[in-house]
Amino acid sequence: MSVSRRIIYSICLIGLLGVSSQSFAWDATSHRLTAYVAWEALTPALRTKLSTIIEKHPRYQSDFIDAMPANIMLASEQEQARWIFGQAAIWPDAVRQLQGDELIRYNRPTWHYIDGAWIRGEAQQGNVYVGADPLPSIHGESTGPIEHEEDVTNVVEGIEFNLAVLENPLSSGRERAIALSWVLHLIGDIHQPLHSGALVSSELFPSGDRGGNGIATQSGNLHARWDGALRNQPFEDTLRRMNSFVRQSNVAEIDMHVDTWLQESRQILYEFAYPDEIKAAVLRSERLDSRLSEFALDDDYASEMQALSEDRVTLAGIRLSIALRRILGN
């Protein structure tokens, strides 16, 4: 295990869990894994309550029932309920495919990520600066919940706003169903390191590389590689491994502050996501005034990226389950 991996692993897992012995934020596989980890940790009564909330979704028939695969339609009611719960976690990405008024009504593109210069409290910026002066910090509001949807500008505010809507007894059934879908999705998103900041350089990326979208690799851009890090792994085996880890974790020691979740992702961004080879290539490209060439991620990087992604998805699922129990458990 590399030095960087040991540092990240100890910070992101041991200290937080207290273990006892595309270019979306994650792809559909990782979002569904996050939801299923949470589902496994919830009581049958709470699962029923969540299913009842989702049934009030304004696009429940078209985006949930009609989208259900044949094998799930033939499965048990429990399997169908779990699949629908996972579908709710994917829904905020699926609405990007809508058109016209429906796209405007449901799509919130800025909620999935955060500007790397945005900070709040003692937080650090999420940008990796390569041969460039730091951008001015954007100081986020730290007092009180956001009350109006139009004031939400990033993933941190999106989580806090939708948790508040879900918890508010005056919210309509439609509002709570949509808010639940966003909570399921955004708690996954904030654990994706390349949604917490970007690489900034003086010429190629003066405003940032959009979380790795500007870095071409041999199999899609860097952001897409992180989004799909778990895509080709055996789904049920990965889920069993995650659930086994959850059962060994000390839930009481898990930090439930959204700012902490952001800083964890940003530390991975600093320590690992942009290796020295990428930084050097950016500087060389700027010095020679040449096009940034495609970057080949080696097997060690790909392996650590996969392991870290599994860690982050697992932690997102645990935190999601805790948040839902706090809001709906009674």
Tell me, what CATH number does 28's domain have? 1.10.575.10
Q: Which pLDDT does position 329 carry in this prediction?
A: 83
By C-alpha distance, which of 143, 24, 159 is closest to 93? 24
Which residues have C-beta within 8 Å of that of residue 259, sequence separation ≥ 6?
Answer: 120, 121, 123, 156
**Does 10 have pLDDT greater than 60?**
no
Question: pLDDT-based confidence at 303, cuts 50/70/90?
Answer: very high
pLDDT tens digits for range 32-74: 999 999 999 999 999 999 999 999 999 999 999 999 999 999 9
Q: What is the pLDDT of residue 143?
A: 63
Domain count, the chain: 1
In angstroms, how far is CA 199 from the centroid of its own chain? 19
Region of 210 on the Ramachandran plot (φ > 0 left; ψ -120 to 50 alpha; else beta):
left
pLDDT for position 330: 61
In this predicted structure, the answer to whether residue 198 has a pLDDT above a threshold of 90 is yes
Fill in the DSSP letter of residue 212.
Answer: T
Q: What is the domain extent for residue 170?
A: 3-328
> Burial code of 77-101, b = ≥16 C-beta within 10 A, e = fewer?
eeebbbbbbbbbbbbbbbbeeeeee
Residue 137 pLDDT exceeds 60: yes
pLDDT interval class at 219 (50, 70, 90): confident
Of 163, 131, 71, which is closest to residue 279 (Cα–Cα)?
131
Q: Is the pLDDT of residue 257 over 70?
A: yes
Residue 110 has pLDDT above 90, yes or no: yes
Of 121 and 180, more confident: 180
Nearest to 227 by CA among 212, 241, 238: 212
Of 11 and 316, more confident: 316
Q: Is the pLDDT of residue 279 over 80?
A: yes
Q: Say what percent of the chain tops pLDDT 90.
A: 83
pLDDT > 70 in the chain, percent: 91
Q: Model confidence at 151, in pLDDT bands (50, 70, 90)?
A: very high
CB 26 within 8 A of CB 224: no
The pLDDT of 240-265, averaged and rounded, is 92
* pLDDT at 23 exceeding the cut of 70: no
Going by C-alpha positions, the residue among 158, 160, 155 that lies closest to residue 145 is 160
